Structure 1
Amino acid sequence: MLLLAGLCVAAASLPTERAAARYGPRAVALFREWNQQLGGLQGVEERQKLSEVNQFFNRRILYREDIDNWGVQDYWATPLEMFGKGAGDCEDFSIGKYISLLVLGVPPDKLRLIYVKARIGGLGSTISQAHMVLAYYASPSAEPLILDSLVTSIDPASQRPDLIPVFSFNAQGLWVGTRSSDVSKLTRWRQVMDKMKNEGFTF
């Protein structure tokens, strides 16, 4: 039943269903669906992996703010924690998609989580809010494609002028513009990575 339990991939692999069970029956059910979907996506082209992973999270997980989900203003959940709630916010969606694509063998240097300011109410609006998306780079010089928890389509960054990048990161580094630095400075990212390793994810 656990299609990926023994799978060796370049960047990441999943924990067992037993790890999901600590978060309750909802987590187990979603973990099984997730595991089955990822198993079925082995060997397909990367663009299909992006599409299927994006759809899974956007369709199966409810969007809910941290204060309502966890009782705190800002909480970065692991995929298993999110499955236990059946809900998450933009950081949780982005993390889940990032981990999924790593498990599917997408090279880690093609993926970055991007913290942005999102304009609310259209381009002419002066109102913005903090938001996070996942970006995929087909090559180092390619325009990134944006996977967003609030938009069903996967669009090139040039078609998302409502998003203003602030910084980006992945497991390898942290970037502000073209300047890179040690990702360990990003405390919440370090904490969620540690939680995932404790749950049985490998990177």
Structure 2
Amino acid sequence: MTKKFGQEAPHRLRVMQVNVRQMKASAGSNLTTNLLKSKDTQLEMLLLKKANDFYNQVPYFTDLEHWGVDDYWATPVELVASFGGDCEDYAIAKYMTLKDLGIPIERLRITYVRAIKIGETHMILAYYPTPDADPWILDNLIPEIKRGSERTDLIPVYSFNDDDLWLANGTARRGGASTVRLWRNVIEKMEKESKL
């Protein structure tokens, strides 16, 4: 990592590890059970906020500025070690961290949207406490986590997690996420990183 991303990369990755450990500790020993038993969203919101706040500290750069290509999806390690990324990198890092903390993936969707205020396509992470809930939106554009119904500046196009892909009209395709080429690339890079 030092060779690829500079002298500060190992320190930044240690900070990431410490933050994730602290998130796990704050959730308790059995996060999934605690989440399923929870009658309110206090624990869920704590974890969402911690993940959102941590990754939103990483400076924003376009893929062209940061990676020298038009579209690059970074792993969480690449985002933190290189200390830069764009919207999909934040969404992926938050998704992977929350998944690692034990939040069921059926509650998480990386969501491709049209961001009206900035006039661009954009990516966010949506958290659904229940399948039909108004999702909580984790976004690098604003620090607050808000309900999807409050984010009228975002128009969903499609969303996905490890298992499924949903179109904006709610139609789901089981296994559809594997058709997202850049997502497959991220998964492959993460598998290689885990062997280092």
- In structure 2, give the amino acid aligned to 1:72: V
Match of 1:152, SS state, is coil
Structure 1 position 170, deviation (Å):
0.7
Deviation string 1:6-40 (CA, Å, 9 cap, x unpaired) is xxxxxxxxxxxxxx556443332121111111111
- TM-score for both structures, normalised by structure 1: 0.82
Deviation string 1:81-121 (CA, Å, 9 cap, x unpaired) is: 11232000000000011111011111111100000000126
User: Is the contact between residue 16 and residue 80 of structure 2 (CA under 8 Å) also seen in structure 1?
Assistant: no
Letter in 1 for 2:104: P
Measure, in 1, the Cα distance between the counterparts of 2:97 and 2:191: 15
Aligned partner of 1:26 in structure 2 is: 8
Identity score, percent = 39
1:47 matched residue in structure 2: 45
Query: How many residues in Structure 1 have an aligned counterpart in Structure 2?
Result: 175
| Residue 185 (structure 1) aligned to one of 166, 179, 182 | 179
Equivalent in 147, 162, 167 of residue 153 of structure 2: 162
Match of 2:61 among 59, 64, 81: 64
**TM-fit CA distance, 1:162:** 0.4
The alignment's C-alpha RMSD in Å is 1.5
In structure 2, what is the equivalent of residue 5 of structure 1?
A: none
The structure carrying a bigger helix percent of its residues is: 2
More strand by share: 1
Which ranges of 4 or more aligned residues in structure 1 deviate by more than 4 Å? none
Where does structure 1 lack aligned partners over 5 or more consecutive residues?
A: 1-19, 122-127
38-47 or 86-95, larger mean C-alpha shift: 38-47
Q: Give CA deviations for 1:161-200 in whole Å, capped at 9, x if unaligned.
A: 0000000001111111222222111111111111111111
Query: 2:106 aligns to what?
Result: 109
Report the equivalent of 2:32.
Answer: none
User: What is aligned with 2:37?
Assistant: none
State the distance in 1 between where 2:128 and 2:2 align: 34
User: Does structure 1 conserve the Cα–Cα contact (< 8 Å) formed by 2:13 and 2:77?
Assistant: yes
Partner of 2:34: none
Alpha-carbon distance change, 39 to 157 in structure 1, aligned in 2, over 3 angstroms: same
Q: C-alpha distance in 1, partners of 2:113/2:9?
A: 29
Higher RCO structure (Cα 8 Å, ≥6 apart): 1
Q: Deviations over 1:136-168 (max 9, x none)?
A: 011112110000011000000011000000000
Taking the aligned partners of 1:37 and 1:68, their CA distance within structure 2 comes to: 27
CA contact 2:91–2:110 (8 Å) conserved in 1: yes
